[in-house]
């Protein structure tokens, strides 16, 4: 099916969602991914700006000490000169004041004054202004549309593999739906039961499969308004004998069903037919099954069968002229499918009463 995005005028890609085939536009998804990635990027950037501001303050404090040492190293001669001057004037003042102050006190005061001068110099010097404040806010580049498109295309390749596998499974189911009698001969017993379940559901009835073992002679239950039909399915290569009739009749009583059927791709032995007539069990042999298949069998191709598995709810524009045309033709062939199928079952039920 060709589905077109109205916004970008491009073919949409298939993917499997909840056992349905859905469509999405690569460009639309890329733009949506870019929006989500950009929003996440900006949220992270805002958080990092806050962390950076705090880090910047701490960095200024931690860089002050090495900056002072750096200033001392670069102005070592000035520091040495200040030290000599402090010592000289210390001795001078010591002799003038007649030992009122010890010379070590005066030298210490001089050193403190020099150190404080260096601190002030370090803070006001150009070295402090050279501290790196242009730290990158985010180590990752900002998302781009090209990156998102590449990511979406990789995802689309994985989706295509999944879609291919899903369609292969649907094709196997389609073969069961469209099986002819010769195809039924190649089925296993369980496949035959599954086919008949689908067959009766297409007739408009609710059908339930029983367990593979311990079913007490009943493979299917058909629910018809207020009636329940017990059905035994026999995919045989030889004629079906009285055992199947006895089992389904016993299962009918065990499950409190109203009717009992035996459906086979083969034929019934004469004793089985006589017993079924006496017990009121309806028999569908090969000829009966072929007749019902020819009346109820779907005439659609695999593409038509596939359309019921498409989910069109998220498609903004769809080119489905062929789909509508096929649907119209199908209604012309089967103007009232459900009532038609129901009539077939009612016909068999009426003959069993």
Quick one: tokens of 348? 């068999």
pLDDT in tens, 130-185: 544 444 555 667 888 888 888 889 999 999 999 999 988 888 777 666 666 777 88
- Residue 140's pLDDT is 66
In a domain, 119, yes or no: no
pLDDT in tens, 241-293: 999 999 999 999 999 999 999 999 999 999 999 999 999 999 999 888 877 87
pLDDT in tens, 96-119: 655 545 556 656 666 676 667 666
- Residue 77's pLDDT is 61
Mean pLDDT of 304-324: 63
Residue 338 has pLDDT above 60, yes or no: no
Asked whether the beta carbons of 45 and 137 are under 8 A apart, the reply is yes
- Residue 63's pLDDT is 66
- Split at pLDDT 50, 70, 90, the class of 343 is very low
Q: Is residue 268 packed enough to be buried (19+ CB in 10 Å), middle (13-18) or exposed (0-12)?
A: buried
Question: What average pLDDT is seen over the chain?
Answer: 75
d(CA 296, CA 205): 13
Last residue of a domain, one of 294, 326, 342: 294
Q: Are 11 and 75 in the same domain?
A: yes
- Residue 105's pLDDT is 63
% of the chain residues with pLDDT over 70: 61
Q: Are 164 and 234 in the same domain?
A: no
Q: Are 286 and 169 in the same domain?
A: no
Dihedral over Cα of 316, 322, 323, 329: its sign: positive
Show the CA angle centred on residue 141, arms to residues 137 and 146, nearest 5°: 155
Quick one: tokens of 76? 């070592």
Residue 342 has pLDDT above 50, yes or no: no
Question: Parallel, antiparallel, or unpaired for β 20-24 and 13-17?
Answer: antiparallel
Quick one: tokens of 257? 């069903």
How far apart, in Å, are the Cα atoms of 240 and each of 104, 125, 144, 221, 267?
A: 125, 108, 70, 20, 6
Query: What CATH code is carried by the domain that includes residue 207?
Result: 3.40.1350.10
Q: Is 301 left (phi over 0), alpha (psi -120 to 50) or beta?
A: beta
Give residue 35's domain range: 1-98+144-179
- Residue 231's pLDDT is 94
Q: Per the structure, how many domains does the chain have?
A: 2
Q: Are 175 and 235 in the same domain?
A: no
């Amino acid at each position: 099916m060709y589905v077109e995005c109205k916004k970008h005028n491009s073919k949409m890609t298939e993917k499997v969602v909840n056992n349905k085939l859905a469509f999405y536009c690569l460009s639309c998804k890329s733009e949506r991914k870019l929006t989500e990635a950009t929003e996440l990027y900006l949220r992270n950037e805002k958080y990092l700006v806050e962390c950076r501001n705090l880090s910047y303050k701490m960095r200024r404090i931690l860089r002050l000490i090495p900056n002072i040492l750096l200033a001392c190293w670069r102005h070592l001669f000035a520091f040495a000169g200040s030290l000599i001057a402090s010592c000289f004037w210390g001795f001078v003042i010591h002799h003038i004041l007649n030992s009122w102050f010890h010379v070590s006190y005066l030298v210490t005061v001089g050193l403190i004054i020099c150190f404080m001068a260096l601190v002030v110099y370090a803070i006001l010097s150009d070295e402090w202004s050279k501290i790196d404040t242009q730290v990158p806010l985010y180590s990752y580049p900002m998302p781009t549309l090209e990156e998102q498109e590449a990511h979406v295309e990789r995802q689309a390749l994985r989706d295509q593999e999944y879609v291919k596998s899903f369609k292969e499974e649907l094709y196997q189911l389609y073969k069961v739906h469209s099986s002819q009698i010769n195809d039924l001969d190649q089925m296993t017993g369980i496949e035959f039961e599954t086919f008949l379940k689908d067959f009766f559901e297409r007739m408009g009835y609710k059908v339930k499969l029983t367990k593979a073992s311990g079913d007490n002679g009943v493979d299917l239950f058909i629910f018809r308004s207020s009636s329940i039909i017990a059905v035994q399915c026999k995919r045989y290569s030889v004629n079906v004998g009285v055992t199947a009739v006895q089992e389904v009749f016993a299962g009918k009583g065990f499950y409190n069903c109203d009717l009992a059927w035996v459906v086979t791709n083969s034929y019934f032995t004469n004793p089985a037919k006589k017993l079924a007539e006496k017990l009121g069990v309806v028999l569908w042999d090969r000829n009966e099954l072929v007749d019902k298949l020819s009346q109820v069998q779907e005439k659609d191709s695999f593409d038509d069968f596939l359309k019921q598995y498409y989910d069109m709810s998220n498609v903004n524009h769809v080119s489905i002229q062929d789909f509508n045309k096929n649907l119209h033709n199908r209604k012309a062939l089967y103007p009232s499918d459900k009532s038609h199928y129901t009539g077939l079952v009612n016909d068999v039920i009426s003959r069993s009463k």
